[in-house]
A and B are shown apart, each in its own frame.
Chain A
């Protein structure tokens, strides 16, 4: 089994220290700016102000205006100049303020960044890491809640990474920045400050109470393409990423289901070995994501599981997803794939 089972632990000689996901991302950027002179952080409001989510706070003051700077409000410009910087030899980390606003930059991502290595036969590469807050559950309405990961997983040449804990956020972001391929790094903004159970009427628990908020101060990496075992179990396999890892975990705990929850962490390249091993063991598979259902990444997961584990399956693969509508404002909790929808799907899979 290839999936990582390690959890957060302090490095040798360090005391245990708990931070939230924003602080973890900020540390990853700070460390990479320090380690590699070619790393550049840029985007709307990321410089002096430190970002609308504070992910880049203090970085400009520490590393200077030519390393960390504000940009015009132009996503195609931000990604386009980042591709040019990559061709020069820099390692840009552009930020798109919300994933909902990444679309003006799509031509540069899909037609240029993703294909540059291939079309030039390695003359030029695009080692960029596009950071962008994504996902709902925050009353963000139509344009501050979307989960467009399937647009990117469909593009040959892009890697898509989504952390679900502060420990992973730091280690995966460092790996993404060091990776020589273009990486789309989606940060689930609902869990920037604390994990989310899906019970919107309960107070938010801060990261400080969660085991995966223990984050070493220094440099460490989590490899791309490796899933994480959130829980081990025999009754069914749950495939999730981002915020939904925590929602699924809360539902399984509450229902007392012996679920094996896999946090995929990287959608492309996918940890197919971990998925196959788990589903062959449990014989049942539930896929959970916030994004809309039709042609969402869940469809790819469902097809892969069915193709590769068909004779081990004891029930049809189920998908719990957002509905096929734009993300609504007032009806957010009717839309969000929360405990009720997940619970019903689990019952169905288990035949209860």
Chain B
């Protein structure tokens, strides 16, 4: 794999010159894309071991790809979770809602209603289907691209939009960057901007659950890029040392902003294979196959619940859009990648499956998409009554100083008084009731 050295040393001896290998993605902007060398295996071919299997006995699953949905849109093999049609339609509905939500919020950012947004287009199954396999009170420690969990858990959409708009209805009081949600009621941990920090926290939560003899398990989501952080190593080590009831979900969407997965180590191995070095069960799963996502998470949850140990799951998927509203992927990758992606689109695949088994049709799909768009639109209008970013309807100034500590210490009291004093000078016309700006 070594590249030839582009600098010749003048050391005067005849030993071969060393050469630094810097990974390079296969395709850059304008390149034609051919993904035919990616081995995606045949749906249904992968064995489903017992949930108490030893990691060593299931090594192949860390290198292969667990798949259920075939080109014929039917479910195949032992990983078919055999969900009833109603559950499948619910799953499809959640995924469609996530996509509609992403579309509208992205547009809202472009219209200046908020500062920032991140879509999860193409990855909806990895949050929606996976979290549907957990109990509603299993604790999740997500990254910033698992909005599907909140939708699947029935978190009120207006709360999501209030948070994105940082308005006076925002439960996080306008303190957090948009999409860094938190909901204790929905067992959804507070999202942090610092990558991978949630992974050892999930392990700690799972350890606590085990210490207390509870039956709840924890699951965390992390991108493949963030697996390079030291915290991920700590999480894997602690998970295996204490046999913590935890699931480490790695979303390998091929890209960490502009860096392809080779910069996280993907050129030489899989992310699921990392599990083996720690003694964790490792599964590599088609992340655009909602049934496979559900089945893998369910397998891992059963394993954790039975005290059989933690699991690392790599969901192999593709980040179909830019990293965020601040990113333009046409600057670093070929636009063709998305259309050539061999695992397709998770929503289309689940829809086609439901149609193939006679439980759905295009008309109902069109109706559902319309309903999703209308619900998001109506909820957005409702949320906008609470204000949008920078338009003055936010939480009162003194809330900025609250919750740093349980009680306000003297120095924050002094600073709160200062901010209030400044407000009268900066914005003399503000409405006293809402503590507003402008």
Contacts and interface: CB of A to CB of B under 8 A. Distances in A.
A224 to B, nearest CB: 10
Contacts of A157: 404-405
Interface stretch (B168-176, B293-301, B320-328, B364-372): B168-176
Nearest to A182: B405
A87 B192 contact: no
B80 to A, nearest CB: 34
Contacts of B205: 84-85, 87-88
Contact of B197 (A74, A89, A107): A107
Nearest to A86: B204
A120 B404 contact: no
B231 interface: yes
Contact of A123 (B190, B201, B231): B190
B406 interface: yes
B209 A124 contact: no
B141 interface: yes
B238 A72 contact: yes
Contacts, number: 145
Interface stretch (A75-83, A133-141, A277-285, A312-320): A75-83
A203 B408 CA distance: 45
B203 A72 contact: no
Contact of A107 (B180, B194, B235): B194
Nearest to B186: A123
B21 interface: no
B184 A77 contact: no
Interface string B201-234: 1111111111110000010000000000011011
Nearest to A84: B204
A119 B176 contact: yes
Nearest to A304: B411
A11 interface: no
B410 A272 contact: yes
Nearest to B191: A119
A270 B409 CA distance: 9
A77 B237 contact: yes
Nearest to B244: A81
Contacts of B183: 123
A124 B203 contact: no
B403 interface: yes
A84 B403 contact: no
A331 interface: no
B419 interface: no
Interface stretch (A19-27, A108-116, A163-171, A290-298): A108-116
Contacts of A85: 204-205, 207-208, 211
A104 interface: yes
B241 interface: yes
B200 interface: yes
Contacts of B203: 80-81, 84
Given A116-B190, A123-B182, A107 B409 contact: no
Given A87-B201, A88-B205, A112-B197, A80 B231 contact: yes
Task: Pick the 4 closest A-B CB pairs, nearest first.
Answer: A84-B204, A80-B200, A81-B204, A77-B234
Interface of A: 40, 66-67, 71-72, 74, 76-77, 80-90, 92, 104, 107-108, 111-112, 115-125, 156-157, 159, 179-181, 225, 268-270, 272
Given A72-B237, A83-B201, A84-B141, 20 more contacts: A40-B208, A76-B200, A77-B237, A80-B199, A84-B206, A85-B204, A87-B139, A87-B189, A87-B204, A87-B205, A88-B204, A88-B212, A108-B231, A111-B197, A118-B175, A119-B180, A119-B190, A119-B192, A124-B189, A181-B405
